[in-house]
Structure 1
Amino acid sequence: MNEYELMTVFHPRLNADETTAAIAAVEAQIVANGGEMLSTDVWGRRRLAYPIKGYLEGTYTLMTLKMPAEAAVPVERWLQISEASLRHLLIRGIIPFEPQSRGRDGGGYGRDDDGRDDRDDRDDREDRRDRGDRDVDAGDGGDDRDEPAEG
């Protein structure tokens, strides 16, 4: 048996009792196909990133489960035709979720403790040579469109 995570977004028109019944129906479908539930985490009603079937909100649930690989197809097929489910994603393997705390400055990603980015020091670079006077108008003599086009 493989371990899976199932994220489901349920229809926003479902009340609390109907959502609980829909979650129980998904769990029953998993068990009926030879699987076992490990945990169910109801995230609650949240705003969707984009409209799905005209709705801007949905009730999110994250389920971890074990089931045979051949049971994934009938469970997903059942979720696709279920009217309670707006969208779902079934992935193999359980991905541990550890939120990273961010400091007051919002750093923490790619930064050292002193706030500098984690690139190597640039002491090993050569000294830059003098590039001389740059004349931006000394181009290649390309078409400046100052003269009327011939033709």
Structure 2
Amino acid sequence: MPLYEHVFLARQDVTAQQVEELNAQYKTIIEGLGGQVLKNEYWGVKTLNYRIKKNRKAHFTLLNVDAPPAALAEVERQQGLSEDVLRFMTVRVEEHEEGPSAMMRKADRDDRGDRGDRGDRGDRGDRPRRDRDDRPPRRDREEASEGDAA
């Protein structure tokens, strides 16, 4: 059977327990149609880049699924009818990632520490500093009006 990654966004005002109930409901649909949910990751409430149906935040959930296309079509149909689901996306993949997804590994990326000097900037002393006296003189308004009148 084909492998899929399915992500859906639930409204921010539903509780995490209600999101888990939605997951259980979708898992039941998939298993009833001959598939299986291999991994279920709840990514938490995250801020959206733009409003979706007047919501600024949403609960994000990832499902790794091994199921026939009809099973996912039914899940997507149910999510389209649900008022609690803002958006969903299903992507067919060749194989599922082992271990946590990229969103769950994000905290590990943030702990990379000091990257050190890049080495492309020279010492600030190698460039001569330009003083105010080096600038060309500024024309006064009186000179400008005299030059324009002539």
**Structure 2 length normalisation: TM-score?**
0.63
State the 1:27 CA deviation: 1.3
Q: Which amino acid aligns with 1:8?
A: F
- How far apart are 1:72 and its partner, in Å? 2.8
Matched residue pairs, number? 110
Q: Which residue of 2 aligns with 1:147?
A: none
Residue 67 (structure 1) aligns with: 67
CA 1:70–1:88 in 2, change beyond 3 Å: closer, same or farther? same
Structure 1 position 59, deviation (Å): 0.5
- Match 2:114 to one of 101, 104, 118: 104
Q: Determine the structure 2 residue equivalent to 1:53.
A: 53
How far the C-alpha of 1:18 sits from its partner, in A, is 1.4
SS at match of 2:34: coil
Higher helix share: 2
Q: What is the letter of the counterpart of residue 64 of structure 2?
A: T
Q: Which runs of 5+ in 2 are unaligned?
A: 121-150
CA contact 1:37–1:64 (8 Å) conserved in 2: yes
3-state SS, counterpart of residue 13 of structure 2 = coil
Cα gap change, 1:50/1:41 in structure 2, threshold over 3 Å: closer, same or farther? same
Instruction: Report the Cα offset of residue 116 of structure 1.
Output: 6.9
Q: Structure 1, unaligned stretches of length 5 or more?
A: 107-113, 118-151
Local SS of the residue matching 2:18: helix
Equivalents in 2 of 1:74, 1:23: separation in Å? 14
Residue aligning to 2:27: 27
Distance in 1 between the 2:73 and 2:21 partners?
22
Letter in structure 2 aligned against 1:89: M
**Distance across 1 between alignment mates of 2:119 and 2:6:** 39
Q: CA deviation at 1:70?
A: 3.3
Q: Is the 8 A contact 2:12 2:57 kept in 1?
A: yes
Q: Tell me how far apart the structure 1 counterparts of residues 74 and 18 of structure 2 sit (CA, whole Å).
A: 23
User: Which runs of structure 1 show a deviation greater than 3 angstroms over 4 or more consecutive aligned residues?
Assistant: 94-103, 114-117
The aligned counterpart of 1:80 is 80
Give the residue type in structure 2 aligned to 1:17: Q
| Match of residue 8 from structure 1 | 8
Deviations 1:27-86 (A, max 9, x none): 112222221010100011111111000000110011101001233322222211122211
